[in-house]
Amino acid sequence: MFLSYEELRNENLSLRKENRELRGIIAELRHENETLKARFERLGGQLLKLQKENKELRAQISNKDDPPPFVKPPRQKEGAKKPGSKKGHRGMFRAIPSHVNEERKLTLECCPHCGSKLSEPQEERDRYVEDLVPPRLHVTKYRIERYYCPRCKRLVEKKPDDVLPGCQLGIRLMSYVVYLREEMRLPVNMVQRYLARVKVTVSQGEIERICTVAAEHSLPLYEGYQDDLRTSETVNMDETGMRVNGENNWLWTGVTKDPDAVVFKNDEHRSSAVVKDLLGDDFSGVLGSDFYSAYNPSNARKQRCWAHLLRETRKFESAEGKRLHTCLKRTRERASRWVDEQQARASPAIREETAFQYEQELVDLSQQEWNDLDCQRIAKRLVRHSGEFFNYVACPGVEATNNRAERALRPYVVKRKISGGHRSWKGAGKHAILMSVLATCGLRGENFRNTIEGALRQTVASAS
């Protein structure tokens, strides 16, 4: 049976429509296929990465000898001595106390083991026991008689000598609070809790006020330390970060000896102006410091810290870097050996000539051709600070390192970890004065609490 023209035409149109629909479906499937391929490749890459991390983690877990990444590797010094006393060393015992506060006699009538009656004493031995008497509150009531002075036409009275005018807490208690706060580095709430255990009730604000009063009365001591610093023959200086009211600032320190004195100063800047302010315009001694540029403008004779220099070159890993470190170390050792053996009996001219010879060795070392970038940087530093490495050879009493200043800053660094900083510049200045007194007392072998008590008593004596 043959189809008519119209039937063939309709069937052709129907097939064409179906063909277009099938082509659209095929295009969608191809697009979906490409998308799935790209996703498959991405997931495959992630899988390989996770498999690699899994393998590394399994290796770390299986190797129990490897410490976690936050554990520092042990540092064993070469040729380190075994800790403890050597064989045959004489034993050490506590010395007999220099004084006795109380003496007690111990006797027996019956044997403590069997209860038998004992004979007369056959011998006697002494035993010393050192113990601590817990502090306790001591309250004094003054009955003050007042008198009329016909000349002054006013009532007069005798002032107590153990309390500041207008205060209820005694000078010994105030100095003890400052001791707990500064030398023992206790937070205010811990000082308050400790005093409450000995029946002394004070607020945290009162504790801070006591420290403020102590700082004000210690100001003459602080100014005396500043004078010692500016007239000394050698001063070591350093600085560290300090936060005041949440902002970064700086705490500077200057340390001197003969006489021993430590001065702390707070400042917003880390510039040479602070160095000039601490040392004054007429400083003629030797300034010991690290290589920070703020110390460069000072006209004083300088001694750069050898510990900083050798600590930096010790980290060099190249062959040139190791050779440079060895040369610097050997030059420093020979100079220090000369200081120990010959400086005391050498004339000033010989000391200056010897220092110049060692400085010339560093100049020659800096002029060598260095390919390593770190060595080039150190060579430039040797040229920049030429004449500032061996003043400890020319000037007796000058140290080759800046350890004195760094050790002076260390207690504040520990305290900074506890408190985080200061809330105001007034509080920062107060603690700078008290820290200066504390550090100076430590160098001079003086009692910090007694020094604060003496400063407070001077005010009472002058007011009487």
Which pLDDT band holds residue 2 (cuts at 50, 70, 90)?
A: low
Which pLDDT band holds residue 462 (cuts at 50, 70, 90)?
A: low
Specify if 375 maps to a domain.
yes
Spell out the residues 6+ positions from residue 326 whose beta carbon is closer than 8 angstroms to its own: none
Mean pLDDT of 394-409: 95
Q: Cα separation of 272 and 294, whole Å?
A: 4
Sign of CA dihedral 416, 418, 424, 425: negative
Structure confidence at residue 459 (pLDDT): 74
* Pure H helices in 71-141: none
Instruction: State yes or no: pLDDT of 59 exceeds 60.
Output: yes
Spell out the residues 6+ positions from residue 348 whose beta carbon is closer than 8 angstroms to its own: 394
Q: 23-37, 197-211, 308-322: lowest mean pLDDT where?
A: 23-37
Which pLDDT band holds residue 24 (cuts at 50, 70, 90)?
A: confident
Q: How far is CA 22 from CA 13, 69, 303, in A?
A: 14, 62, 91
> Does residue 220 have a cis bond before it (omega within 30 degrees)?
no
DSSP element (H, E) containing 333: helix 319-342
pLDDT digits (tens, 9 = 90+) for 77-100: 666 777 777 787 887 788 999 999
What mean pLDDT, rounded, does the chain reach?
90
pLDDT digits (tens, 9 = 90+) for 123-177: 999 999 999 888 889 999 999 999 999 999 999 998 898 999 888 999 999 999 9
First CA to last CA across the chain, in angstroms? 143
| Number of domains composing the chain | 1
Q: Which of 157, 208, 154 is nearest to 180 (CA)?
A: 208
CB hemisphere CA count around 339 (13 angstroms) = 20
pLDDT digits (tens, 9 = 90+) for 168-214: 999 999 999 999 999 999 999 999 999 999 999 999 999 999 999 99
Q: Cα separation of 304 and 135, whole Å?
A: 48
Instruction: State yes or no: pLDDT of 375 exceeds 60.
Output: yes
pLDDT digits (tens, 9 = 90+) for 261-304: 999 999 999 999 999 999 998 899 999 999 999 999 888 999 99
- Domain containing 372: what range? 306-394
Structure confidence at residue 5 (pLDDT): 76
Specify if 351 maps to a domain.
yes
Q: For residue 276, count CB atoms less than 10 angstroms from its CB and return exposed for 0-12, middle for 13-18, buried for 19 or more.
A: middle
Spell out the residues 6+ positions from residue 337 whose beta carbon is closer than 8 angstroms to its own: none
Structure confidence at residue 93 (pLDDT): 83
Choose from 26-30, 39-43, 110-114, 216-220 the range with maximum mean pLDDT: 216-220
Structure confidence at residue 292 (pLDDT): 94
Structure confidence at residue 15 (pLDDT): 85
Mean pLDDT of 101-128: 91
Say which amino acid occupies 96. Answer: I
Mean pLDDT of 40-62: 84
Cα angle value 344/349/354 (rounded, 5°): 75
Instruction: State yes or no: pLDDT of 463 exceeds 60.
Output: no
Specify if 197 maps to a domain.
no
Which pLDDT band holds residue 63 (cuts at 50, 70, 90)?
A: low
Structure confidence at residue 133 (pLDDT): 86
Mean pLDDT of 359-384: 94
Going along 102-150, which residue ranges are E strands? 147-149
Cα angle value 268/269/271 (rounded, 5°): 165
Q: Cα separation of 399 and 383, whole Å?
A: 21
Mean pLDDT of 302-330: 95
Q: Cα separation of 412 and 250, whole Å?
A: 12
Angle formed by the axes of helices 306-313 and 373-384, to 10°?
170
Which pLDDT band holds residue 1 (cuts at 50, 70, 90)?
A: low
Polymer length of the chain: 464
Instruction: State yes or no: pLDDT of 455 exceeds 80.
Output: yes
Q: 191-195, 257-261, 352-356, 456-460: lowest mean pLDDT where?
A: 456-460
Structure confidence at residue 415 (pLDDT): 86
* Pure H helices in 198-270: 204-217, 219-231
Specify if 371 maps to a domain.
yes
Q: Which of 192, 404, 201, 179 is nearest to 287 (CA)?
A: 404
Specify if 117 maps to a domain.
no
pTM confidence score: 0.76
Which pLDDT band holds residue 76 (cuts at 50, 70, 90)?
A: low
Specify if 410 maps to a domain.
no
Q: Which of 273, 252, 238 is nearest to 399 (CA)?
A: 238
Q: Going by DSSP bridges, is the β-strand pair 286-289/261-267 parallel, antiparallel, or unpaired?
A: unpaired
Q: Which two tokens stand for residue 386?
A: 């030429």
Q: How far is CA 377 from CA 303, 332, 335, 419, in A?
A: 19, 19, 23, 38
Mean pLDDT of 324-347: 95
Specify if 285 maps to a domain.
no
Structure confidence at residue 64 (pLDDT): 57
Q: Going by DSSP bridges, is the β-strand pair 247-256/261-267 parallel, antiparallel, or unpaired?
A: antiparallel
Specify if 338 maps to a domain.
yes
